[in-house]
């Protein structure tokens, strides 16, 4: 899995903002989709440096990779493009919410990418379904 490409894709998909803002659900967010937690000691409107943004992305990406590996036991034998998709999905949704897509995860685990594509499409992640259909 190409980590540099993964970061570039996440920045393209999530955007990158160096000022703390409330996302569409009202949660404080900064950087590349980083959910602000109390230990970050940040308030709405505060500015962060590029370095801190990069640190948040590194940490959040590590969490997403670990979450994807945990959610999908077959992770390491899957094609790189599917691993990439799973990490992006876990980054966006978080491990707990991603695990609610039980039929999708089961299909990916047995490499039934057609069923997995239908499942992820039905949840509104249309751009991910095309990746699965290319397998």
Domain of residue 55, CATH code = 1.10.530.40
Q: What is the pLDDT of residue 34?
A: 96
Per-residue tens of pLDDT for the chain, all 135 residues: 889 999 999 999 899 999 999 999 999 999 999 999 999 999 999 999 999 999 999 999 999 999 999 999 999 999 999 999 999 999 999 999 999 999 999 999 999 999 999 999 988 888 888 888 887
Domain count, the chain: 1
The residue segments making up the domain with residue 10 are 3-133
The residues near 89 (Cβ < 8 Å, ≥ 6 apart) are 68, 98, 120, 125, 128
Q: What is the pLDDT of residue 132?
A: 85
Q: What pTM does this model have?
A: 0.90
Q: In a 3-state reduction of DSSP, which class is residue 34?
A: strand
C-alpha distances in angstroms, 25 versus 4, 21, 101?
Answer: 29, 11, 21
Q: What is the pLDDT of residue 123?
A: 86
Give 55-75 as a DSSP string. HHHHHHHHHHHHHHHHH-TTG
């Amino acid at each position: 899995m190409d980590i540099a490409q993964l970061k570039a894709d996440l920045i393209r998909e999530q955007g990158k903002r160096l000022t703390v803002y409330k996302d569409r659900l009202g949660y404080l967010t900064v950087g590349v989709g980083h959910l602000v937690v109390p230990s970050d000691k940040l308030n709405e409107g505060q500015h962060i440096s590029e370095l801190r943004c990069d640190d948040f992305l590194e940490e959040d990406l590590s969490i997403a990779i670990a979450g994807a590996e945990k959610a999908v036991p077959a992770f390491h034998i899957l094609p790189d493009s599917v691993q990439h998709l799973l990490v992006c999905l876990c980054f966006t949704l978080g491990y707990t919410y991603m695990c609610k897509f039980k039929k999708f995860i089961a299909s990916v685990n047995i490499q039934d990418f057609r069923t997995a594509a239908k499942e992820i499409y039905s949840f509104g992640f249309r751009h991910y379904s095309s990746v699965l259909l290319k397998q």
